[in-house]
Each structure stands twice: as C-alpha cells, then as structure tokens.
C-alpha cells in the first residue's frame, strides 16, 4: 500500500512537472511573439525603419517578395499589387516555388524584395540572374543582408561587406542607388547576448530558458528599449545593410 501511494505521488509530481514546463513554454512563446520581448526585435525594427526610408523613393506597381516567409512587411504594400513567393508550404506565399527559378514572365515586375534572404541562397549569381530577367527596364530591388549578425540556421551561407556586395550586383547588371547601414556595436552586442541566452545556452541546457524565464523576459525588454533609442548607424559596425538597387539598361 505504501509503495502504491508512493507511486501515485511520483506519478502526480511527474504530471505536474510536465504541465508546469508546458505552461512556461507556452508563456515564453507568447512573450516571444510580442515584439519588445523578442531577441529579433532590434534587427527587425532596424529593417522596418530602413524600408520606410527606401520606399519614399520607390513608386512600384507590382511587388514580388522573394523568400517572403510569413510576409511580415506586406503591410507596407497595401496600395500595390503584392505577390509573395517562398519555397515553404508553411509560408504565407502566393506562389510556392524555388526562388532560384522564378515562375514569372520576363520583364514583368516593377520591384523585387529580398529581405534577409540572400544569406540563405547557395547560388546567389543564379538568383540575381533570375531577378534581372523578371524585372522591367529600370526595375528595382530592395535588398537587406546581415553583416555583424549571428549565423542563424544551417542554410546561412555568407556575409558581404558593402564593397563586396556592390561588386557582386554590378557583375549581375545592377547598380546601387541607395544604401542604409543598420545598427552599431551596442546593438550588435545586445543581439549577440540575446542570441546566446535564447538559443545557444538552451541548446546545451534545455531547462535554462524555463528556469530563468522571468529574468530573461525582463532583460530582453530592457535591452530592446535601450537598443532602440541608441540605434544610430555606423557603417563598419552594422548588424545589417539595406540597398535600393536598379537594373542597369
């Protein structure tokens, strides 16, 4: 009887532990979706601000968003014809396709978006050739790329300096019309610290994220506020770059 009671208590504690971990996980995921608590907040905020500046010089009709994912920037294009393309069936794409072989007619697109996509492309030259093909004469691309930013997936292949990227697109028949540097060493430090706490340490110690849930959430919130208000841009210390690129013709 004693053993039976002991087993019931142990089983109950095990269920309680699982439910507690599940609750913390769901709570953490909830806060992660709130921008100010996210480890990607500063990077995304910098991209959004830069995109607003770029779009003041762009009057496109048809927008093709390559590697659109969940289309986080489509609200900028409510007055345009916006088409999202991605290779994932779990995305919000209008077209599911390999972006290195764009299923669109020649010279039919006004503007192409490549936002945080190029670093995941194995054959960049082929993709740029496809972009050149589908863009209209004097068509444009809006491209953002990471620089001093963590390698964030198994398919994260490359980083470019401004000069290196300028040479790459020039060989593909494009010219850079405008460039914006995003971030500085302080923002870079914050992003790397957040990446360490949110991804690297939990990979080795899975319970870390849940044991220190409250301090991590509060720390991310404070760091994101600090980083947002001191996010002046320094070229050689940038977390990301954004370019407005025009098809040469």
174 Cβ contact list (under 8 Å, min separation 6):
128, 132, 141, 245, 246, 247, 248
Give the SS3 label for residue 13.
helix
pLDDT mean over 125-141: 95
pLDDT, one tens digit per residue, over 230-247 is: 877 777 788 999 999 999
What's the predicted TM-score (pTM) here? 0.82
Pairing of strands 95-96, 109-115: unpaired
- How far apart are alpha carbons 101 and 77 in whole angstroms? 24
The CATH topology of domain 41-184+233-247 is Rossmann fold (3.40.50)
Place of tokens 């959430």: 217
Distances from the Cα of 199 to the Cαs of 38, 68, 195, in angstroms? 12, 23, 5
pLDDT, one tens digit per residue, over 76-91 is: 888 889 999 999 888 8
The lowest-confidence range among 40-44, 97-101, 207-211 is 207-211
Average pLDDT, the chain: 85
How many CA within 13 A on the CB side of residue 183? 31
Contact by Cβ (8 Å): 208, 141: no
pLDDT of 4 > 80? The answer is: no
- How far apart are alpha carbons 113 and 47 in whole angstroms? 12
- How far apart are alpha carbons 209 and 197 in whole angstroms? 8
- How far apart are alpha carbons 77 and 43 in whole angstroms? 21
- How far apart are alpha carbons 138 and 107 in whole angstroms? 10
Distances from the Cα of 105 to the Cαs of 48, 100, 133, 167, 228, in angstroms? 29, 14, 8, 27, 41
């Amino acid at each position: 009887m004693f053993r039976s009671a002991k087993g019931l208590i142990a089983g109950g504690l095990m269920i309680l532990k699982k439910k507690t971990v599940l609750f913390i996980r769901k709570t953490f995921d909830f806060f992660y979706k709130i921008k100010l608590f996210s480890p990607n907040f500063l990077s995304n905020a910098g991209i959004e601000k830069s995109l607003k500046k770029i779009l003041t010089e762009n009057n496109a009709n048809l927008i093709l968003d390559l590697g659109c994912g969940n289309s986080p920037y489509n609200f900028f294009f409510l007055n345009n014809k916006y088409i999202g393309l991605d290779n994932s069936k779990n995305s919000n794409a209008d077209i599911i396709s390999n972006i290195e072989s764009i299923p669109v007619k020649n010279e039919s697109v006004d503007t192409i978006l490549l936002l945080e996509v190029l670093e995941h492309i194995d054959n960049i030259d082929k993709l740029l050739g496809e972009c050149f093909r589908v863009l209209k004469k004097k068509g444009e691309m809006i491209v953002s790329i990471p620089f001093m930013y963590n390698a964030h997936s198994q398919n994260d292949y490359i980083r470019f300096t401004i000069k290196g990227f300028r040479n790459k697109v020039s060989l593909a028949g494009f010219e850079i019309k405008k460039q914006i540097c995003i971030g500085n060493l302080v923002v870079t430090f914050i992003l790397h610290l957040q990446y360490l706490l949110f991804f690297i340490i939990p990979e080795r110690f899975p319970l870390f994220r849940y044991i220190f849930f409250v301090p991590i959430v509060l720390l991310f919130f404070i760091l994101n506020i600090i980083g947002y208000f001191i996010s002046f841009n320094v070229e050689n210390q940038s977390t990301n770059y954004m370019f407005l690129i025009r098809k040469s013709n």
